[in-house]
Homo-oligomer: A and B are copies of this chain.
């Protein structure tokens, strides 16, 4: 598994914040409930996202979290690298240790896969994820009408 729950939950949280952009701070508890994330665990993910400048948080009553950039300025690659650290699919691509690569034998295949993967992730913005979710919701609503 390349992505842990950090990358999954963290992106879910960011989608939630993007969907409620302009409505003031969104509280941890709301995000956790809507996106089915353990509240205490979400803390750590928000902390990381804050450290890397993706969100701003305010304390006190009516406090919460909001995006620090617009959704189309945030790409999935940067989000995931913030949450997960490196996304390298195998150890020998982590640092370019030529000794390790020399004996590995399949590193060149994975280097290509890694490059393609990063390119794809860089091309998807948070705005795209929100848009995709909205479309999905519309589809489900339409399907529901037919079922009724």
Chain A residues engaging chain B, CB cutoff 8 angstroms: 1-3, 5, 7-8, 11-12, 15, 35-36, 76, 88-92, 102-106, 108-110, 112-113, 116-117, 120-121, 124, 129, 132-133, 136
Instruction: Note all chain B residues with C-beta closer than 8 A to A8.
Output: 90-92, 104, 106
Instruction: Give Cα distance in the complex from A104 to B16, angstroms.
Output: 11
Instruction: Give Cα distance in the complex from A117 to B95, angstroms.
Output: 21
Q: With A88-B1, A89-B2, A90-B2 as known contacts, state yes or no: A12 contacts B110, CB within 8 Å.
A: no
Check if A117 sits within 8 Å of B106, measured CB to CB.
no
Instruction: Give Cα distance in the complex from A2 to B109, angstroms.
Output: 14
Q: With A8-B104, A104-B8 as known contacts, state yes or no: A109 contacts B121, CB within 8 Å.
A: yes
Contact of A1 among B2, B15, B35, B129 (CB under 8 A): B2
Check if B2 sits within 8 Å of A105, measured CB to CB.
no
Instruction: Note all chain B residues with C-beta closer than 8 A to A120.
Output: 109, 112-113, 116
Q: Chain B CB within 10 Å — which of A3, A105, A124 has the most?
A: A105
Q: With A89-B3, A116-B116 as known contacts, state yes or no: A12 contacts B103, CB within 8 Å.
A: yes
Instruction: Note all chain B residues with C-beta closer than 8 A to A2.
Output: 1-2, 89-90
